[in-house]
Amino acid sequence: MSPPDTTSAKTTADPDAALVFARFPDRFRAIVIGASGGIGGAIATALAVHPQCSAVARLSRSAIPVDGTPIDLLDEVSIAAAAASLAANAPYHLIVTAVGVLRGDGLEPEKSLRALDANMLARSFAINAIGPALVIKHFAPLLPKSGPCVLATLSAKVGSIGDNRLGGWYAYRASKAALNQLIRSSAVEIARTRPDARVLALHPGTVATKFSDGYNPSHEVFTPADAARRLLAVMAASDGSGQFLSHDGTEIPW
């Protein structure tokens, strides 16, 4: 989801074309973390019926990995255990993290500095930045050591410092900006041992899920299925690593 910031122009991925992961093997495996959410669930569903994908591991706090251990991004032990439970079936050519929080449990997008709260800032960072970074730490070793593969994490355009012209939304913007830096740095490190891996931060646009309840944007709202189709098209088409890409394939400034 995003507030009404302006969006860049040129599309580099065609979500209406037949989705082909041309650089992947014919029977690749995928992992979707956050598969109980609207976007994560739609991505997992799309992959489950994709002819190239042989298996999709769906992980979330309510979805059980093969060893019976749920994954909680606020608990590194559970993240490590979930990764370990899937290691026997590695490599995985596509790993997607679709987890984030904007409001709920006391969190609300701040309209002014007066609304800043230390506990809510910490919670936003824990879920939006630290948790996904720990996922990269424990799940990146499940990628193949050679050959194209993708490790993608859902970010948000409002995490762009260069594009921030409206202010506000302090915790969400800052936590997503932190996430972007963590993704960029991990892309540099992962390239040393997996030179064909593409590590991506992805902006899904505004999607009609519980996450965006109560928000009335002036721009287009996608269904989860359409958002999943667009994001998968971007993952399939991307030819670089350490990128921050919108749902239409355009690059977003950091």
Q: Is residue 1 part of a domain?
A: no
Q: Per-residue pLDDT for 2 more than 60? A: no
Measured in whole angstroms, the distance separating CA 173 from the mean position of its chain's CA atoms is: 15
Q: Per-residue pLDDT for 1 more than 70? A: no
Q: Is residue 10 part of a domain?
A: no
- Report how many domains make up the chain: 1
The CATH number of the domain where 195 resides is what?
A: 3.40.50.720
Q: Is residue 19 part of a domain?
A: no
pLDDT in tens, 149-192: 999 999 999 999 999 999 999 999 999 999 999 999 999 999 99
Q: Is residue 20 part of a domain?
A: no
pLDDT in tens, 212-240: 555 555 568 889 999 999 999 999 999 99
pLDDT in tens, 71-100: 999 999 999 999 999 999 999 999 999 999
104 against 142, higher pLDDT: 142
Q: Is residue 13 part of a domain?
A: no
Domain of 84 in residue numbering reads as 28-246
> pTM for the complete prediction?
0.89
Q: Is residue 22 part of a domain?
A: no
